[in-house]
Amino acid sequence: MEYNLNSSFGLVADIGGYANTRLGIGDTAMTYLFGPRFNFRHSRFTPYVQALFGGVSAWTPTPGTQTSFAMAAGGGVDFLVTNHIAIKPIQLEYEMTCLPNALGFGGHQNDIRYSAGVVFRIGSK
């Protein structure tokens, strides 16, 4: 979710859930990230870059839940379909989390995060 302060600067809240199915033991994680987004608006498309900071909570059957620092930095592009709907073909980010190795995620995680979808633009215009 983004709240635009003006045409080129907005504040983003990003909450995501993840499952570690590789080990088959039910590891899950949730990130909650917040930060600025800089938009480069054109008539039909909007490329952007953002830097988000916050936390990650991970759960495994043993030893339980741990919470730590997380961040993501990257960008993407939205293509305007109507005044209230846009298509996001790509959002690509570097994501870093600092979960302890005891949870099976490793001690420091460096990942690439890809997103795509439909954007519903609510507000003025």
Q: What is the pLDDT of residue 18?
A: 84
Eight-class DSSP state of 104: T
pLDDT confidence tier of residue 106, bands split at 50, 70 and 90: low
Q: Read off the amino acid at residue 22.
A: R
pLDDT digits 0-9 by tens, 53-95: 999 998 877 767 888 999 999 999 999 999 899 999 999 999 9
pLDDT confidence tier of residue 100, bands split at 50, 70 and 90: confident
pTM as predicted: 0.86
Number of residues written out for the chain: 125
Q: What is the pLDDT of residue 28?
A: 83
Residue 119 has pLDDT above 90, yes or no: yes
Q: Which domains does the chain have, with CATH numbers?
A: 2-120 (2.40.160.20)
Do 71 and 96 form a contact (C-beta atoms < 8 A)? yes
Residue 17 CA to residue 28 CA, distance in Å, equals: 7
Three-state SS for 43-103 is CCEEEEEEEEEEEEEEEECCCEEEEEEEEEEEEEEEEECCCCEEEEEEEEEEEEECCCHHH
**Across 3-7, 72-76, 118-122, which has the greatest mean pLDDT?**
72-76
Q: What is the pLDDT of residue 33?
A: 98
